[in-house]
Amino acid sequence: MTKRTRSVCWDHFKKEEYAVCLVGSCTAKVKHCGNTSNLMKHLSSCHIEEHKKCVEEQDKNKKKKVSPSTSTQITLAESLSSTRKYPKESAKCKKLDDALVEMITTDMQPLSIVQDSGFKKYTSLLDPRYELPSRRTITRTMLPKKYTDIKKMLQEKLKKLTNIALTTDIWSSRQELTRIVNDWGSPEISCCVTDNASNMNCGIELTGWNHLPCFAYTLNLVVQDSLGAEPGLSVIKEKCKAIVAHFHRSTKSSEKLRSTQQQLNMPELKLIQDVVTRWNSTYLMFERILSQHEAVTTTLCLLGKAAMCISTEEKESISEALVLLKPFLQATEEISGDKYISISIIIPLTKMLLKATSNGPNVPLRPLLVQELMRRFSQVEQRYTMAVSTLLDPRFKKLAFADSAAVDQAIRRLKSEVIDLMSAVPANDELRNDDDTESASAGPPPTEDSLWASFDRKVCQASSHRTDSTDSFIEVKRYFEAKVIARKDNPLLWWKENGHQFPHVMKVAKKYLAIPRSSVPSERLFSKAGELISQRRSQLKPKNVDMILFLNKNLPLFNV
């Protein structure tokens, strides 16, 4: 029951058996009988100003009040509005559905997240009008639709290209590789980068595509083979692996190591285990053993395992090996990025690695590394695909080469490609307008009655006659005369800003600078597939795995 509001006229009376007036010196006693009618009459007859104020105040209070029926209707409407779900075809619902699919694919969340009670509660608090779709709806409707939409958008982008470069892993079937490319309506394949496995080499060779081995994979082989061929380091490597394995297996030993690190005021770092397929894990293992040598040695002695300790001589060997291997670590980290950076860096990088290794500590590992580098990379400058990509990188151009003959040969082929592009352009193409204007301005047209008429005609013909070979030579020459940019500058941005000066050379640059130097991105995709098919996602069908991986990689390319 609603509590009655106190009347404002009681501000002027004292409530007793008879209300006593408090206005001025008036002490009149007024009978109230549970209401204020008599009180208001007294004020209107004896205290006009106070009566007027009371009436005004009562009017204000009446305006503020809302009838019970109206109040109930508003509350009910608000209640219905807050609980009524968005229509499935509404723009708001579609926007939230898209955001849900994007979250699942971007963060590799299990599809069953929509069934989790905590996620349901969280979503309801964010927007109670949004009804989460079922897992069945996501897999049968929402995921395929998003996949189809993004695939169409990507295909439209591919239609605008003349060349693309690929990386692939696992797939070695010529038929399957060709089917996938045809399914996408792909333009011409400029190159395909894979690891050095024989089945991959054979499969790509059968397709007829230009093929390059993965630089990261080859560099891994250089270091692995060199370490394996150095007997002393091989023994030390196995000894370090045994130490790391011991601390990883034994909780007691790992706790003792942590306690020792605290006592020695050393950082509490865990030891790193070597991974067979990644040489840089060997480097990181050596580096951690070396930095924690005092703590590891002390702990092993306290545990009665002094025989496992790394000796002073072995520690020195590790230190020298790390000096030699550090440039290889830097190179590996740089080329293994997920930004599809071009093969243009391979020639200068191998040159710098060879120089750094040759100037390194004179230990048995050094000649082995030099030998492997020469064996696997001695012909990189002679491979046109690598050479032309380096030449067309405005950071390197001719500076990265040691073999001038290889440079000349690559430039000749580059000019040939430019000639082919020019030949495909009509003779009156706008690219030649400026040159034609210059030729036309060489002099006035000859007149027939002139003594020099026949000679002047020959001059005009010679001035207007420009071959594709001449034009290609001029454009390529102008490109190489342009200033070399800093190594850390973006070569693609340079071409975007300056390509109009060398339009045909730019087309060739786009073709070769798009080739990735590593197949690591495609290998990471398979790693993601392994992460995706975990215990909570083990029931995923292969087609759903494909769609999720596709969206994970390609959704960020489109602002949808």
Q: Determine the pLDDT at residue 476.
A: 93
Q: Is residue 469 part of a domain?
A: yes
* Among candidate residues 507, 541, 526, the one with its CA nearest the CA of residue 194: 526
Q: Determine the pLDDT at residue 253.
A: 93
CA atoms within 13 A on the CB side of 120: 10
**Structural domain ending residue among the three candidates 378, 397, 432:** 378
Q: Determine the pLDDT at residue 430.
A: 44
Contacts of 175 by beta carbon, 8 Å cutoff, 6+ apart? none
Based on the fold, state whether residues 176 and 147 are members of the same structural domain. Answer: yes
pTM score > 0.95 for this model?
no
Q: What residues in the chain have per-residue pLDDT under 70?
A: 1-5, 62-83, 170-172, 337-340, 425-450, 461-468, 520-540, 560
Q: Determine the pLDDT at residue 224.
A: 94
Q: Is residue 462 part of a domain?
A: yes
- In whole angstroms, give the CA distance from residue 526 to residue 247: 31
Q: Is residue 504 part of a domain?
A: yes
* Among candidate residues 255, 252, 260, the one with its CA nearest the CA of residue 296: 260
3-class DSSP state of 355:
helix
Based on the fold, state whether residues 347 and 485 are members of the same structural domain. Answer: no
Q: Put the strands of the sheet holding 163-167 in their side by side order.
A: 163-167, 188-194, 211-213
Q: Determine the pLDDT at residue 1.
A: 46
Q: Determine the pLDDT at residue 467.
A: 64
Q: Is residue 37 part of a domain?
A: yes
CA atoms within 13 A on the CB side of 484: 12
* Among candidate residues 38, 130, 144, 147, the one with its CA nearest the CA of residue 93: 130
Q: Determine the pLDDT at residue 439.
A: 44
Q: Determine the pLDDT at residue 466.
A: 59
Q: Is residue 519 part of a domain?
A: no
Phi and psi at residue 69, to the nearest 5°: -65, -45
What is the four-CA torsion angle of 389, 497, 518, 551, rounded to 10 degrees? -140
Based on the fold, state whether residues 138 and 188 are members of the same structural domain. Answer: yes
Based on the fold, state whether residues 347 and 422 are members of the same structural domain. Answer: no
Contacts of 495 by beta carbon, 8 Å cutoff, 6+ apart? 394, 506, 509, 510, 513
Domain encompassing residue 350: 217-378
Based on the fold, state whether residues 251 and 330 are members of the same structural domain. Answer: yes
Based on the fold, state whether residues 191 and 297 are members of the same structural domain. Answer: no
Amino acid present at 530: G
Based on the fold, state whether residues 201 and 233 are members of the same structural domain. Answer: no
Neighbouring C-beta atoms of residue 509, cutoff 10 Å: 26
Q: Is residue 281 part of a domain?
A: yes
**Structural domain ending residue among the three candidates 322, 351, 378:** 378
Q: Is residue 22 part of a domain?
A: yes
Query: What is the number of structural domains in the chain?
Result: 4
Q: Determine the pLDDT at residue 53.
A: 80
Q: Determine the pLDDT at residue 462.
A: 64
Helix (H) or strand (E) holding 83: helix 68-83
Q: Determine the pLDDT at residue 60.
A: 74
Based on the fold, state whether residues 58 and 117 are members of the same structural domain. Answer: no
Q: Determine the pLDDT at residue 337.
A: 63
**Structural domain ending residue among the three candidates 378, 405, 428:** 378
Based on the fold, state whether residues 347 and 469 are members of the same structural domain. Answer: no
Based on the fold, state whether residues 374 and 229 are members of the same structural domain. Answer: yes
Based on the fold, state whether residues 186 and 282 are members of the same structural domain. Answer: no
Q: Determine the pLDDT at residue 415.
A: 93
Q: Is residue 81 part of a domain?
A: no
Based on the fold, state whether residues 370 and 321 are members of the same structural domain. Answer: yes
* DSSP codes joined into one string, 104-170: HHHTT--GGGGG-HHHHHHHHHH-TTPPPPPHHHIIIIIHHHHHHHHHHHHHHHHHT-SEEEEE-SS
